[in-house]
Amino acid sequence: MPEIKIKLTDFEVKLLEHKYPDVTDYATAIVRGRIDHYADNLVDRLLKSAIEATSKEPMPMNTESIINLMFNEDGYLNAVERQAVLDEAQPAQQPEGPFPGLIV
């Protein structure tokens, strides 16, 4: 299982410890809450899309299975991959003026 590490300054830790007895538990709860929120929103959109498509395919009944349908689709791109596609589609901007690259 991947592990996420967060670097905080001593001041930031002290600030959080003023309010929360265990900073690690607090950070974990915040991240899990955001994951749950995003998963709920994504499932809502996927179910709406499936209903509108009037697909004859059976729809799984749990969050992870529903989201995995999207992850397993041909052509699925995660956020980094989608951004790379957008970046490739954007033409490179050429500097203008008599002194390109000169910052005034």
d(CA 14, CA 62): 40
Give the per-residue pLDDT at 38: 94
pLDDT band at residue 94 under the 50/70/90 scheme? low
Residue-by-residue DSSP string for 4-30: ------HHHHHHHHHH-S-HHHHHHHH
Token pair listed for 36: 């749950």
Give the span between the Cα atoms of 22 and 57, in whole angstroms.
46
| Cα 99 → chain centroid | 40
Residues 9-49: tens digit of each pLDDT = 999 999 999 999 999 999 999 999 999 999 999 999 888 88
pTM above 0.85, yes or no: no
Half-sphere exposure of 39 (CA within 13 A, CB side): 13
Q: Which residue has the higher pLDDT, 104 or 69?
A: 69
User: What is the identity of the amino acid at 15?
Assistant: L
How confident is residue 53, by pLDDT bands cut at 50, 70 and 90? confident
Report the pLDDT averaged over residues 43-62.
80
Which two tokens mark 30? 């915040």
pLDDT at res. 20: 92
